[in-house]
Amino acid sequence: MTASERSLQDLKRRHPEWEPWLTVIREVLRESAELKWAAVVPSLAATPLGKTPLLAEARIVLPKSLLRAWFEQLIRVAHRSGTDNLATLKAALDAKLDILNIFKASLQQHDDFLKQLATSLDADAEAFAAVMALLPIPLLQAINRRCAQAVKASWMEGYCPVCGAWPAFAETRGIERSRYLRCGRCGAEWEAHVLSCPYCGNGDHERLVSLIPENSAKSAIDACKVCLGYVKVFTMLQGVPPAAVILEATIIPVRKYSKPGFSTILRRKKAGIRHTPFQPWHVRFSTSGGWRTR
């Protein structure tokens, strides 16, 4: 059993009301481990260029059959998971949808497009957007596995050097207390300044705050008074595996997608700045039978 599977089992045992969403996350983890996604990883630069993530201007060819099969499987698992919100997503299986545009919107985190599409299907808009946010993860995880060693130690930006997403959380590691940011989409890690906001770069310690819960010395919330962004920080000896990052990136206590009668929900966490800083992926339909993203 992998570390991610153990974490899932532990969460299910401690929070049985989370089971519907954990079922969806389990399917994402399973799909992300499939070797077929490695076959569509594009050729990328040896290292990030300046402040530009590796995926900027990348050309990615995705076979229609691969992407459609994963989309349908994700929707199928979600609508069968046992909540009224997620059950509405079955409509997406019966409609003739442009998977190309859905994948593009998911990759670039265009929630408005996804919610509008859900509304046209009479599906729960927030549930559809939350599930579709998971659609690119198997590809992004495969890209990170291929490119993790290409990230230079000099990369000190707040966004992911691989895919350009904002960090899901930070890790304070070892006795040196080095700080690393973690991407909740591709799973990448990169070192960061301790006294600096990852979103706006504010380094004024008087305008940075840390919220430390009384019952936990291993976690905190670092927040910025300038941009109002925040990031959760975990203290640990070493970083968690990339796949396990998905768990923390998609779980936050609120009321949704849990079983009726419970007040907890799992949802994709949003930071103070909501969209990826880079949106370089222009997607067009190719004559080779796949979707080409560049």
Q: How confident is the model at residue 282 (pLDDT cuts 50, 70, 90)?
A: very low
Domain housing 138: 3-142+250-273+283-293
Give 123's DSSP letter.
S
Do 128 and 77 fall into the same domain?
Answer: yes
In a domain, 10, yes or no: yes
Report the range of poorest mean pLDDT among 102-111, 143-152, 244-253.
244-253
With 50 as the cut, is the pLDDT of residue 269 above it? no
In a domain, 278, yes or no: no
Most confident of 116-120, 200-204, 221-225, 289-293: 116-120
| CA 104 – CA 283 distance, rounded (Å) | 7
Q: What is the model's pLDDT at position 1?
A: 67
- Count CB neighbours of 104 within 10 A: 20
In a domain, 36, yes or no: yes
Do 186 and 257 fall into the same domain?
Answer: no
The tokens for 54 are: 């590796």
Q: The whole model's pTM is what?
A: 0.83
Report the range of poorest mean pLDDT among 15-24, 43-52, 170-179, 259-268.
259-268
Do 208 and 137 fall into the same domain?
Answer: no
What ranges in 241-292 are assigned the alpha helix state H?
242-249
Q: What is the model's pLDDT at position 156?
A: 85
With 70 as the cut, is the pLDDT of residue 231 above it? yes
Do 176 and 230 fall into the same domain?
Answer: yes
Percent of the chain with pLDDT over 90: 43
In a domain, 219, yes or no: yes
Do 9 and 102 fall into the same domain?
Answer: yes
Mean pLDDT computed over every residue of the chain:
81
Do 171 and 260 fall into the same domain?
Answer: no
Q: What is the model's pLDDT at position 2?
A: 75
pLDDT tens readout for residues 104-119: 899 888 999 999 999 9
For the segment 252-266, the average pLDDT, to the nearest whole number, is 37
Place of tokens 């490119």: 147
Q: What is the model's pLDDT at position 121?
A: 96
Do 179 and 264 fall into the same domain?
Answer: no
* Of 253 and 120, more confident: 120
Do 231 and 176 fall into the same domain?
Answer: yes
Do 13 and 133 fall into the same domain?
Answer: yes
pLDDT tens readout for residues 166-197: 999 999 998 888 999 999 899 999 999 888 99
Q: How many domains does the structure of the chain reveal?
A: 2
In a domain, 192, yes or no: yes
In a domain, 230, yes or no: yes
Which H or E element spans position 167? strand 167-173
In a domain, 233, yes or no: yes
Do 130 and 170 fall into the same domain?
Answer: no
Which residue pairs, CB below 8 angstroms and at least 24 apart, start in 43-46? Answer: 44/143, 44/146, 44/147, 44/150, 45/150, 46/150
In degrees and rounded to multiples of 5, residue 90 shows phi and psi of -60, -30
Do 264 and 119 fall into the same domain?
Answer: yes
With 50 as the cut, is the pLDDT of residue 86 above it? yes
- Nearest Cα neighbor of 28 from 65, 90, 77 is 77
Do 24 and 166 fall into the same domain?
Answer: no
Looking only at the bridges linking them, the beta strands covering 290-293 and 178-183 are unpaired
Q: What is the model's pLDDT at position 117?
A: 97
pLDDT tens readout for residues 208-220: 998 888 777 788 8
